[in-house]
Chain A
Amino acid sequence: MDRNASARARKLTSRWALNLALFVAMAIICLPGFWIVLNSLRPTVEIMAKPPIWIPRELNFDAYVAMFSGVGQGGIPVLEYFRNSLIISVTSTIIALAIGMAGGYAFARYRFAYKSSWFLGFMLTRTVPGIALSLPLFFIYARLGIIDTHLGMILVYVALNVPFTIWLIDGFFRQVPRDLSEAAQIDGCTRWQAFWRVEFPLARPGIASAGIFAFLTSWNEFALASQLTRSTGSKTLPVGLLDYTAEFTIDWRGMCALAVVMIIPALLLTYAVQKHLVSGLTSGAIKG
């Protein structure tokens, strides 16, 4: 075998090895999701069986049907929870993005006193586990009378997400050369126009990632929501999962079905936004 042929063979094997490794890794990552979908479709006996039953014997949509039937017939107020989750997540994401863009831009472009201390301060807030704040928050909210309201949850999630959105968006604005905004101003833009027409489109991948992140955080958050909401009027989907636990039993099938209902919008959103996540938007702006 000459050297070319052996080099080609080596390249081919390494490509297949890589594909195999990727497949195994993806399988491990996807397995829990797949398991949840599977469990939502089969009876609890089968879910709880030991040793586990890998090949389901019977699949049906009973759990989904039950979930959407009225309270009392094994149903839970899914639509209300869904609506609460949507209102809270979308509103808090929009606010967190607006603040993140303003803050990220300021950190990337302006010089001001104690800039790095501010930045560090924001980051440090992320080191506090959210659950540690639940009790103080509960007291404050109780006093303010915003416990069990959308507003309360929106505030919590904005506070939770803003440091991260600022940090991420700052990094993306830093990559947009300052010259571009100046060129736009010379071309006749106001600062504001230069931002929206030149800098914003170029930082869009960062803003989109920050948006997805903020949305998913609020959408999936459980610990604080379980403390601060209690009625159908404000409970979010993750908290709704608890409706399937009774004193001595847990309806695993129903829980899995609700989990699937939660996952779907998150997947759709990520899919819709991912086309904005392309990198390298700023290449070609400067130099040769």
Chain B
Amino acid sequence: MANLTFDALEKSYGGYHAVKGIDLDVRDGEFVALVGPSGCGKSTTLRMIAGLEEISGGEIRIADKRVNDLPPRDRNISMVFQSYALYPHMTVRENMGFTLKIAGCSKAEIDEAALNAARVLEIEPLLDRRPAQLSGGQRQRVAMGRAIVRDPDVFLFDEPLSNLDAKLRGQMRTEIKRLHARLGTTIVYVTHDQVEAMTLADRIVIMKEGRIEQVGTPDQVFNHPATQFVAGFIGSPPMNMVPAKVAGGALWFEDGTELPLPAAFEELSDGHEVIFGLRPDDIYPEGHGLDAGTGDIVNLQLTVDLSEPLGNETLLFIRFAGAEWTARMLNPRNVARGERLNFRIDMARVHLFDAATGCSLGRQ
């Protein structure tokens, strides 16, 4: 077990700057998720930790020891690949025991370790099969078993669940969480699925174009996004956003709609161009919301374009200030297309971002 530190970590491929200086401290035993859109450098960062990719600048320390120049085998990490990367010519037992075999352990030790890992992951009956004879979910378990057997300082996961169907993904997610609780090993987990990141991680690192946008607990990044990008990336369905302008203690939208300026943003000067952001949970038809009871509620008559019933809730698509918005309707009832409803907006939960920089204007 160990902590993990990035110090101004950089990576360039020829002329292309894939990772542009990352600073991060991962505590011992912490579960950190790296999220971000495709191509933002998540895998590259992970592969630099593993030693599979050379580090172009900065430093990585595992257990306070600089590992920049160590080969993967000397870093005491283990990695679960997106493709699983099981050795097809070995049985499940041999796959999981391979690392001990290389380390020169005895056959008895290897078999015992493989059996233990198989027990943890409930794949004992599969021990003598080859990867080609396993289902996707079983391969995923074997890949995790192989990582466990190494008993590493740090576990690295690169989108381990992205090849599974939705149901299995949910199951494996729980399993990974249980595994972390049980082993307590430091984990760096790459995913582009923000739900996975939110449910699993102690802290989430949101990356964009090779830089860190925000680091925080799931609660922080969800409720206090530091930038417009983070706000749009975390949460499903995504936050509704629309440009607005501050004038005379109110927010003016492009189509002439006016909303009062929330109390938290009263210092904003007139003429400030902002992005108005509101989560679908914070705009709802009257009587169908969480009603936090802050009292700072605005009522609006809006027309429903489309509704998506999900059973326990219904997503309503509405037009507001020239943009398509989503609203979440709890305790749903049938809503007809074109129906006009009285929507409530919880102004205390409004996010404002600077239109020029994208940075959050308060509520940090």
Contact = CB atoms under 8 A, between A and B. Distances in A.
Interface of A: 177, 179-180, 182-190, 193, 197-198, 201-202, 280-288
A285 B98 contact: no
A284 B133 contact: yes
A52 B103 CA distance: 69
Contact of B83 (A179, A189, A190, A198): A179
A174 to B, nearest CB: 15
Interface in B112-151: 130-137, 139-140, 146, 150
A182 B88 contact: no
Given A185-B72, A186-B72, A189-B73, A284 B88 contact: yes
A187 B71 contact: no
A180 B87 contact: yes
Q: Which of B86, B87, B134 gathers most chain A CB within 10 Å?
A: B87
B83 A286 contact: yes
A187 to B, nearest CB: 4
A179 B82 CA distance: 9
Contacts of A189: 73, 102
Contacts of A197: 98, 102
- Of all A-B residue pairs in the complex, the 10 with the closest CB atoms, nearest first, are A288-B136, A284-B132, A284-B131, A286-B83, A179-B85, A187-B99, A183-B85, A188-B102, A285-B88, A185-B72
Given A187-B99, A189-B102, A284-B130, A180 B73 contact: no
A266 B78 CA distance: 47
B83 A283 contact: no
Interface in B61-78: 71-73, 77-78
A179 B163 CA distance: 16
Nearest to A179: B85
B52 A182 contact: yes
A216 B269 CA distance: 86
B88 A188 contact: no
A288 B73 contact: no
Contacts of B137: 288
B84 interface: yes
A10 B52 CA distance: 57
Contact of A185 (B73, B81, B83, B87): B73
19 contacts: A179-B81, A180-B87, A182-B79, A187-B98, A187-B99, A188-B103, A189-B102, A280-B132, A281-B88, A282-B88, A284-B131, A284-B133, A284-B139, A285-B84, A285-B85, A286-B84, A287-B84, A287-B136, A287-B163
A184 B81 CA distance: 12
A187 B85 contact: no
B102 A285 contact: no
- Among A198, A283, A284, A287, find the residue whose CB has the most chain B CB atoms closer than 10 A: A284
B85 A286 contact: yes
Contacts of A188: 73, 99, 102-103, 150
Contact of A186 (B77, B103, B132, B136): B77
A273 B69 CA distance: 42
A286 B86 CA distance: 7
Contacts, number: 94
B150 A180 contact: no
Contacts of B84: 285-287
B50 interface: yes
B167 interface: no
A184 B132 contact: no
Nearest to B129: A284
A31 B334 CA distance: 81
Interface in B146-202: 146, 150, 163-164
A282 to B, nearest CB: 5
Given A282-B88, A284-B86, A288-B136, 20 more contacts: A179-B81, A182-B79, A182-B81, A185-B72, A189-B73, A189-B102, A190-B71, A193-B102, A198-B89, A280-B132, A281-B89, A284-B134, A284-B139, A285-B86, A285-B87, A286-B83, A286-B85, A287-B136, A288-B140, A288-B163
- With a 10 A CB-CB cut-off, give which of A187, A197, A283 has the most chain B CB atoms: A187
A186 B99 CA distance: 8
Given A187-B99, A188-B99, A193-B102, A285 B146 contact: no
Given A186-B73, A202-B89, A281-B88, A287 B50 contact: no
Nearest to B80: A183
Given A179-B81, A186-B72, A198 B132 contact: no
B131 A285 contact: yes
Given A183-B79, A184-B98, A190 B73 contact: yes
B110 to A, nearest CB: 12
Most chain B Cβ neighbours within 10 Å, of A179, A188, A201, A282: A188
A182 B87 CA distance: 11
A165 to B, nearest CB: 22
Nearest to B52: A182
B83 A177 contact: yes
A201 B87 CA distance: 10
A187 B102 contact: yes
Contact of B87 (A186, A190, A198): A198
B80 to A, nearest CB: 9
Contacts of B51: 185-186
B85 A177 contact: yes
Contacts of A282: 88
A172 to B, nearest CB: 13
- Interface centre among A183, A190, A201, by most chain B C-beta atoms within 10 angstroms, is A183
Given A186-B78, A189-B102, A190-B71, A288 B164 contact: yes
B12 to A, nearest CB: 16
A115 to B, nearest CB: 15
A39 B173 CA distance: 73
Greatest chain B CB density within 10 A among A186, A193, A201, A283 is at A186
Contacts of B99: 187-188
A182 B72 contact: yes
A180 B139 contact: no
